[in-house]
Amino acid sequence: MDGDGGSGAGARQQPVRRQARGERRIAQILDAAAAVLAESGYEAATTNKIAAAAGISPGSLYQFFPNKEAIAKALADRFTAQMGGAHRTAFEAADPGTVPLAELIDRIVDPLMAFNLANPGFKALFARPDMPAELSAATRPIQEALLGRVEGILAARAPGLAAADRTRGARVLIQVFKALVPLVAEAGSEDERAALMVELKRVLTGYMTALEARGGARRGDS
């Protein structure tokens, strides 16, 4: 049965004519969801907690979202849009083929890490391996966009690399970055944080150098 059957809850299906008040509420709810998610994780972020954090009743929350998953998906979409901007400025800042490696890494890692630190709810949503199917579908676009951009850089800097090697290398680079985000985020001091950023860049630089050495020539073999 596909009739939604609810009396108060619409939130989707036929497009309810949203008022300005409603748009503001949605933004409030998403802000609250990000905050609750950041400090509780996905499972412990109850819908009632999110509603309370947004300063509304549970019923009001469900005027705008049909279920918890839809809230997460909407938040993921909002993150994706913001992150999309950050990606563009990060990856298009310089020609990846000619700029020195250290500078390239600075220009990409710094804004990406800044975004991750500024949005603590982000990794609760994108870095968890155990979320509902629909949810991980919502996070896939941004994952693949990132993968594509890193592959693009590898194509420019290690043109001799086979496509499979390029994809694998990009995956490894992304995974390394993601692994060090929590370390940087939980750093005890600003000094420690800066030192960890240096180490992160050292890891990426080392691996990128290895990839360039393999893929700089035309043969892509070990």
- Contacts with its own copies by CB under 8 A lie at 41, 43-44, 129-130, 164-165, 168-169, 171-172, 175-176, 178-180, 182-183, 192, 195-196, 198-200, 202-203, 205-207, 209-210, 222
Tell me which of 32, 34, 63, 112 binds DNA, using CB under 7 A. Answer: 63
Q: Is residue 58 a contact residue for DNA (CB under 7 A)?
A: yes
Among 48, 89, 143, 175, binds DNA (CB under 7 A): 48
Of the CA atoms within 13 Å of residue 152, those in its CB half-sphere come to 14
Radius of gyration for the alpha carbons in the chain, expressed in angstroms and rounded: 21
At its nearest, how many Å lie between its own copies and the CB of residue 29? Answer: 22
CB 5 to DNA: min, Å: 6
Q: Is 134 helix (H, G, I), strand (E, B) or coil?
A: helix
Whichever of 130 and 191 has its CB closer to DNA, that residue is 130
Question: Does 30 sit near DNA (CB under 7 A)?
Answer: no
Q: What span, in angstroms and rounded, lies between the C-alpha atoms of 73 and 181? A: 22
Q: Which residue has the tokens 């850089």?
A: 153
Helix (H, G, I), strand (E, B) or coil at 59: helix
Contact 74, 68 (CB under 8 A): no
Give CA separation, 89 vs 83, 107, 117, in Å. 10, 9, 17
Q: Which residues bind DNA (CB under 7 A)?
A: 5-10, 16-23, 25, 44-49, 56-60, 62-64, 66-69
